[in-house]
A = this chain, B = another copy of it.
C-alpha cells in the first residue's frame, strides 16, 4: 500500500491510499493537484447576501442543558459561492478532457481516497482555541464552544456503482488501513474526544450520492452513545472487575444462539438486545481500543470477513419476485474515547444496522424513539440471527 498526502485548491487535505503497484493514483502522467479555482476556505470572502467582506468562522456547538449534549449548529459562514453541479458525481475520479470541474478528487484514478469534507459539521479553523467558551445570549446557563472537530470523506472505490460488499479482500484491507491511518492522526489532534468511521448506505437513510463512500467524524465532545458505553463499562468494572465488552462477546459465544460468523480473530453476532430490525456487531476476540492498535493479522482477517457479511446481508430481504434487495445500512466503528481515564476498559467493534424491517417497510423513529429515546424492537434478536444465517447461506457466504 502507498499513502500519498496532498492538498485540494482550498487547502483541504486529500490522501490517496493505493492498494499495490502499479499504483492507481499519482503516476507521472496523472494529476495530483486540484485544478479548481477554489478560494482558500480560511480567507476572508464576500458575503453574497450583504456584499460585505467577512472572515470565515467555524461552526459553533451549544450545550443542551436538559440532556448535557453538545449540539453543533450550521451557524458558521464559509465561502459557498462555488456550488457543485448536479449532473456529475463529485466522488468519481477526474475525467481527462471533461469540462466537469466539480469533482473532489483531482486524480484520474484511485483505489481509496480520504479528504476533508467541504462543508463540515465539525471544523477547527487554524489556530482556533479549542477551550474557548462563550455564552449564548449572555446567559451563564448556556455555554457554547467551537465545534472544533473534523469531518472527512472516504471513497471506497473509484467505481461509481460499486459497493463495499463487492470489493476484493485487498481493497478491503486498504480501506481498513485508511480507517486506521485517519484514526491515528485524528486521535492525536487537540480537543478530539473520539473518532467514528462510518458508512451510510442507501437512499432509505437519505444517501443521495450512490458512489461508495463513508465518513470519518472526529468529535470534539464525546458522542452520547460512546459516553453511555464508557459509563456502563466503568460501572461494570467497578462491580465485577471485568471488561464489559469482553464479557458480552464471551456470553454471545457461550450462548451461541445469535452467532453469524467466527474467524480466528473476529466474532459477528446479532446482539442479545438488538433494537434495529437488522443489527449485527462485529468484535475482535481481544481488547483493542481503536483501529491503529489492531495487528496486521487482525486487519487482514477483518478484510476477509466484512465484505462476506455485507454480501450475506444483501440477501436478508427479497422482493416479491424473490430477488435479493441491497440492504440499506449504517455501519460504524465504536472506538474508545481518547481520554485516558475512559479509554479502558474498551473493545472497539462495528455496529451495523438497518432501518428496513420488511421488503416494503421501514422502521421509523417516531414518538417513543425520537421523543422519549425509548427503543422498541419489532422482532427478536433470535429471529434476526436465524434470517441472517439463512441469508449468508443463500449468498454462498456461510
Interface residues of A in 258-279 (CB under 8 A from B): 271-275
Number of interface residues of A (CB under 8 A): 77
A84 at the interface (CB under 8 A from B): no
Chain B residues lying within 8 Å of A358, measured Cβ to Cβ, are: none
Identify A248's interface contact among B66, B226, B254, CB under 8 A: B66
A220 to B66, CA, bound (A): 22
In the complex, the answer to whether A255 meets B139 with C-beta atoms within 8 Å is yes
In the complex, the answer to whether A273 meets B64 with C-beta atoms within 8 Å is yes
Residues A196 and B372 in contact in the complex (CB < 8 Å), given A73-B379, A142-B251, A380-B74: yes
Residues A372 and B223 in contact in the complex (CB < 8 Å), given A66-B248, A68-B232, A273-B64: yes
A372 to B69, CA, bound (A): 12
A247 at the interface (CB under 8 A from B): yes
In the complex, the answer to whether B364 meets A205 with C-beta atoms within 8 Å is yes
Most central of A136, A366, A379 by chain B CB within 10 Å: A366
Chain B residues lying within 8 Å of A127, measured Cβ to Cβ, are: none
A224 at the interface (CB under 8 A from B): yes
Copies in the complex: 2
- Binary contact track A359-389/B, C-beta < 8 Å → 1, others 0: 0001111111011111111111100000000
A137 at the interface (CB under 8 A from B): yes
A368 to B151, CA, bound (A): 11
Chain B residues lying within 8 Å of A64, measured Cβ to Cβ, are: 271-273, 275
A198 at the interface (CB under 8 A from B): yes
A163 at the interface (CB under 8 A from B): no
A378 to B121, CA, bound (A): 8
Task: Output the nearest chain B residue to A258 by Cβ-Cβ distance.
Answer: B137
A-B contact pairs, 20 of them (CB 8 A): A62-B272, A64-B273, A64-B275, A65-B248, A66-B228, A66-B229, A69-B273, A71-B376, A74-B378, A74-B379, A138-B255, A139-B272, A196-B371, A196-B372, A198-B368, A205-B364, A217-B367, A330-B366, A332-B371, A353-B371
A326 at the interface (CB under 8 A from B): no
Most central of A136, A272, A364, A374 by chain B CB within 10 Å: A374
A245 → B minimal CB distance (Å): 8
Interface residues of A in 132-178 (CB under 8 A from B): 136-139, 141-142
A206 at the interface (CB under 8 A from B): yes
A281 → B minimal CB distance (Å): 9
Q: A64-B275, A71-B273, A139-B254 are in contact. List 17 more A-B contacts (CB 8 A).
A: A64-B273, A65-B232, A71-B275, A74-B378, A74-B380, A75-B380, A139-B251, A141-B248, A199-B367, A219-B372, A225-B372, A226-B372, A228-B373, A332-B372, A351-B371, A353-B370, A365-B370
In the complex, the answer to whether A198 meets B371 with C-beta atoms within 8 Å is yes
A49 → B minimal CB distance (Å): 13
Identify A74's interface contact among B71, B142, B366, B377, CB under 8 A: B377
A32 → B minimal CB distance (Å): 30
In the complex, the answer to whether B74 meets A225 with C-beta atoms within 8 Å is no
A133 → B minimal CB distance (Å): 14
